[in-house]
Structure 1
């Protein structure tokens, strides 16, 4: 996602067979589409609930009603915050990495964060809630369906305790962690479908994030351009100055003219260069076709032409206009393309 964030999703459709498989595919597509437009966590589950309600109306009585659980989380490597919402799904397990001292090495700490669990999607009209918590770099996030820890002959509390025991001494390689979990919890073929997602969090170096607060004054646009030029010079990306200054100028101008304070400009250097302009207004600009004699309406078209992708992200505090550019070959930052906010996933 934008700003080097990663979305993690796990869900479980009630039932088995062709009908449940088709519903799973439709819900997976819906989640991906809602994530692409950067909906807030609880808002995404609300829209997913609407999708399931519409699916129920299309189904015949013989097929039965569709219902599902879903856990939707986003990890931000800049702030190291994980924000998530649950629709009837069990919370993830968090494994905080062990600390190594001069004489002793402590074991990893395994815990279940306090997550408000909302109703499953498909009931219609019920609210969902988002929660946030900070993660230490190198923490593990373990998302799974209830089939991993519970079964017809297994108690869920015992299965959860076994999962925690395995994770206390989990190996560094995530595929091995998944193998150990499956061997301990599912020694034989399970009766229920099982999904397991294990991710290790990374943090983005603070030196690769540059922030500038802007006054609500048109004269601040030139200061924003100078700030961009200075930051890119420090990062060894001078050749990107022209397009980045253009990319920043347009949303900064729009935020000053049409937005509300506070206004902030942020540059993030990861596998791409991301420019973000945030303000306290919820009104977002839209890409449109400007007529020949129109005095405005071309700013987003210019941004779209010189960047790889751009978009708008809404929050409770306002909105963020963001745009991403690819790093030039031989820029001295090529090694960044091998970094991801999360380690290998099993």
Structure 2
């Protein structure tokens, strides 16, 4: 894929310092930059040649995403957590994207336009795959319910999603391990841009209790409301946004079609225009396809803050890309971020920053 840096996992583990140029330090051409500030830098990097277990972890969990989204509504709602601003368990139609609230309506198309977005085509399941019960005081737990509440898991015998919890943790912990190794490799580059050199990127991620994973199911849009690709907004499946994180780990999406017997089958991407789009540091729109056997990592807003804007967050969105009748999109994102007390700027901790963002996406009633 032109412009996207890829690195080998064995090299990442055995010789991380050899990757400094690929990550962004002392480069001479734009396509060698992943997280740097060159106008053509994409803010994303691919890790290839992963251990073989990754394939089964990814396939197992992404099928669970489809299965959970097709449970009866009353069962799905049983595993929601309004008190955490829906930051644990199931969330559908609760998030505000680009100024419009998403009412809970399965058949409503999420897109109105690029500037007003009803986020009802995306269902999410949130959990911390590293820590089930964060070790913080009751006061901190109550103050930051979006990060420090206990995980919510479907009952072990919930019909259709038996094994959901273990599959979620298997993939989440795998991505977290690779992310920690990448953060360590990034350290010589990132440390030059940190405003506060008393901590390292790898330390902030490894010791944090705020790690959050998001299993995502993109519902098929109503065929009657899908426009021709030329008229369709780029952010028709998920609006443009920045992640809260320092780094976000992303799995390649799987497209599933519901067959006549009600079972899903894996299908190719419904069109060349479907999928993830990001903006380069210079503002150019680029479609990014993550190979099935790779992980992608992109920069989040917390990293932009702790580096005083020298390393910027990656703006991204997801496009339907034409007809997706009976086709859903399943993927998984892991947000690696600091604990809530960590200062991310001269005036704001990560916890304060999060609350400011949550109010934007969930309204005045967010925690």
Q: TM-score, normalised by structure 2?
A: 0.22
Q: TM-score, structure 1 length as denominator?
A: 0.23
Which structure features the higher share of helix residues?
Answer: 1
Select the structure of larger CA radius of gyration.
Answer: 1
Higher normalized contact order (CA 8 Å, seq sep 6+, divided by chain length): 2
